[in-house]
Amino acid sequence: CPYAHKAWIALEVSQCPYEMKEVSLYGPGGKPDWFWDLNPRGTVPIVVVTGNGESGKEVFADSEWILDAVANGRVGGTTRESNRLLLKSERERSHSYSEETLQKISQWRDAISNKLAPICKKAVLGGSLPQLRSLLGELNDMVEGPYLAAEEFTVADCAAFPFFWRIDQEFGIGKGKHGKDEEKLREWLDRCL
């Protein structure tokens, strides 16, 4: 699942301590009751942070919320010095990223969630491959390099990698007749691998 994958990447890159529990998405037993108690929508991933809030735990039941929580240091008790993904609160205050870079990170995350994910799903199901190729060309032009939105790996890269990796596995990125139109994406993907 690319949504669980991007949350996992963010946890790994940020070096947050965590414990992972995998659940069956389908099958005879389905998801366990404890999972439904944490997330009645039944979607993955979820991250539970213990020791926070009035109830002693905080539940993040959406991959984008998880990226925000990791980037803001709300997951894993990471500090500014140890969390390579801290963005919004800490880095805005320390001015490590310009407003322009923060805007590019936001644009990338929006493009992945609202453009690439739906078009990718259609292409994998047998349609919209020309539309996907056209979007890949547009996204290629957005790459700032060496990473998507900055000189370093950000939550934009966490959000994007699972989708681009799957597209590359299924259709190839930056290869063959599409090589030049997708060259920056290919370089970025190779850097991330």
Give residue 56's pLDDT: 72
pLDDT in tens, 135-169: 999 999 999 889 999 988 889 999 999 999 999 99
DSSP state of 22: -
Mean pLDDT in residue range 86-95: 44
Q: What is the pLDDT of residue 8?
A: 93
CA 140, CA 62: separation in Å to the nearest integer? 27
Q: What is the pLDDT of residue 76?
A: 63
> At residue 5, does pLDDT exceed 90?
yes
Radius of gyration (C-alpha) of the chain in whole angstroms: 18
Of 78 and 70, the structure prediction assigns the larger pLDDT to 70
Cβ 188 vs Cβ 147: under 8 Å: yes
**Tokens at 72, concatenated:** 């803001």
What's the pTM value of the predicted model, to 2 decimals? 0.84
Question: What pLDDT, on the 0 to 100 scale, is given for residue 176?
Answer: 79
Share of the chain above pLDDT 70, in %: 86
Which of these, 173, 176, 193, lies nearest to 184 by C-alpha position?
Answer: 173
- Closest by CA to 132, choosing from 176, 188, 177, 171, is 171
CB 88 within 8 A of CB 68: yes
Backbone angles phi, psi at 47, to 5 degrees: -125, 130
**Chain segment 21-49, per-residue pLDDT in tens:** 888 877 677 888 899 999 999 889 999 88
Q: How confident is the model at residue 177 (pLDDT cuts 50, 70, 90)?
A: confident
> CB–CB of 9/18 below 8 Å?
no
Look at the block and give the residue holding tokens 């959406």.
Answer: 62
Alpha carbon distance 150, 154 (integer Å):
7
DSSP string, 84-149: TT--THHHHHHT-S-HHHHHHHHHHHHHIIIIIHHHHHHHHTT--HHHHHHHHHHHHHH--SSSSS
The pLDDT tens digits for 98-143 are 888 889 999 999 999 999 999 988 888 887 889 999 999 999 999 9
